[in-house]
Amino acid sequence: MSESTLAIGGKAPSFELEGVLHKNFNTYKLPHSDGKWTLLLFYPLDFTFVCPTEIVAFSDADNRFKELNTNLYGISVDSKFTHLAWTETDRSQGGVGDINFPLLADLNKTVARSYGVLIEDAGVALRGLFLIDDEGMVQHATINNLAVGRGVDETIRLIQAFQHAKQSGEVCPADWTPGSETMKPDPNGLKEYAQGKHR
């Protein structure tokens, strides 16, 4: 795996890539600087096996991400033309169809390298997922090996938890979901939480 310039809690590496959305090519400068959260979904290659299942699942949930002020971007080392062909291929034939978020072309592999997900020997990215807040800070990162895809529901839960923590100044315990108890990040806060949890 390549060396990364990324640190959790630090500034996300910025970049500019071309991509495709709804059959149109555009240039995307990320992470956002307009008050939105950014979710980067690195994947190995178009026209492979696990990848279309992830892209379709996240695309089908795009409105859920937008409700959380979060924009989603898929990134692989394919060209924008390969991305276009993949989005023009029917899902029943292994394509992804007309998805709801852009697929970005990291053809020279610099973005995958800067986020620490590039497998140098294979020349493809691992399944990296990075949540970047509205100030450009990396709040969460997970990296899967190639064989296992990621889940939408857990990603949504993590966004909700990090946004709640950032807005409230409280911290979210294990398996926190909206409406669940949080705690103040100090010994008394832990004690109050524990007393309520373990009566």
Q: Please say if 51 is a catalytic residue.
A: yes
Question: Catalytic: which of 30, 41, 51, 131?
Answer: 51
Q: Which residue has the tokens 């979060």?
A: 70
Looking at this protein, which amino acid is placed at residue 119? I
User: For residues 124 and 101, what is the distance between their CA atoms, to the nearest angstrom?
Assistant: 21
User: In sequence order, what DSSP letters do the residues of 35-90 get, joined into one string?
Assistant: S-EEEEEE-S-TTSSHHHHHHHHHHHTHHHHHHTTEEEEEEESS-HHHHHHHHTS-
User: For residues 82 and 128, what is the distance between their CA atoms, to the nearest angstrom?
Assistant: 20
3-state SS, residue 155: helix
- Catalytic positions, written as ranges: 51
